[in-house]
């Protein structure tokens, strides 16, 4: 049977489920990853002072278990189920093996929109990855803990082809917990 591929469909593995899986099963050793694609900067719809950038991460290491959304084969959209406690619709989740990629969507602040420059502060969820990439290219000093301003071309140059070990840490903002990806070159980041 011939099936139409829904290019605009939902991806089974989201950044949230990917990081949740690393946290549950792989955080000690991490998962080897690489950056495959980086989008242009695009204007945030919610906040005129913010922009967004997407980075597609290839999973290069073994990952026998990863949480993923169940995708309806006909529509290409995530299957929703009702949360029995709250009545809210949420993704139906399954555990898959060896996901190939996951796309992260990062928010940054505009520094100079005309020059495609953005600012990243140390509290931003993209800071660990972007900071690591700029340190790897020598654009930032090793051990940098300060915010920085860069343009999208510099970011693409630093990220594309970058390989790293992905681990996660849990953060909290206004009582809401979330995961942040923490890249490293070595296995001993947590020691």
d(CA 2, CA 113): 45
189 within domain boundaries? no
Q: What is the pTM of this model?
A: 0.88
Residue 104: pLDDT band with limits 50, 70, 90: very high
Residue 75: give the domain boundaries. 15-184
Residue 165: pLDDT band with limits 50, 70, 90: very high
6 within domain boundaries? no
Number of domains in the chain: 1
20 within domain boundaries? yes
Q: Nearest-5° angle of CA 21, CA 26, CA 31?
A: 95
Residue 7 has pLDDT above 80, yes or no: no
111 within domain boundaries? yes
191 within domain boundaries? no
DSSP secondary structure code for residue 162 in this structure = -
42 within domain boundaries? yes
Residue 17 has pLDDT above 90, yes or no: yes
d(CA 31, CA 78): 25
Is beta strand 93-96 parallel, antiparallel or unpaired with respect to 31-38? unpaired
Positive or negative, the Cα torsion across 176, 41, 51, 139?
Answer: positive
């Amino acid at each position: 049977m011939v099936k139409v591929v829904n290019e605009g469909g939902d991806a089974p593995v989201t950044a949230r489920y990917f990081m949740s899986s690393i946290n549950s099963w792989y955080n000690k050793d991490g998962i080897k990853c690489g950056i495959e694609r980086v989008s242009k900067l695009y204007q945030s719809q919610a906040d005129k002072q913010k922009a967004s950038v997407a980075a597609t991460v290839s999973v290069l290491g073994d990952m026998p278990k990863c949480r993923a959304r169940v995708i309806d084969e006909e529509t290409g959209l995530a299957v929703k189920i009702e949360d029995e406690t709250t009545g809210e619709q949420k993704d139906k989740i399954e555990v898959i093996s060896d996901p190939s990629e996951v796309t992260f969507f990062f928010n940054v602040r505009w520094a100079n929109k005309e020059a495609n420059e953005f600012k990243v502060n140390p509290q931003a969820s993209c800071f660990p990855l972007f900071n690591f990439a700029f340190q790897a290219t020598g654009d930032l000093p090793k051990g940098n803990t300060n915010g920085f301003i860069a343009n999208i071309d510099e970011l693409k140059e630093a990220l594309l082809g970058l390989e790293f070990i992905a681990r996660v840490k849990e953060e909290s903002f206004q009582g809401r917990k979330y995961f942040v990806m923490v890249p490293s070159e070595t296995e001993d980041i947590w020691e």
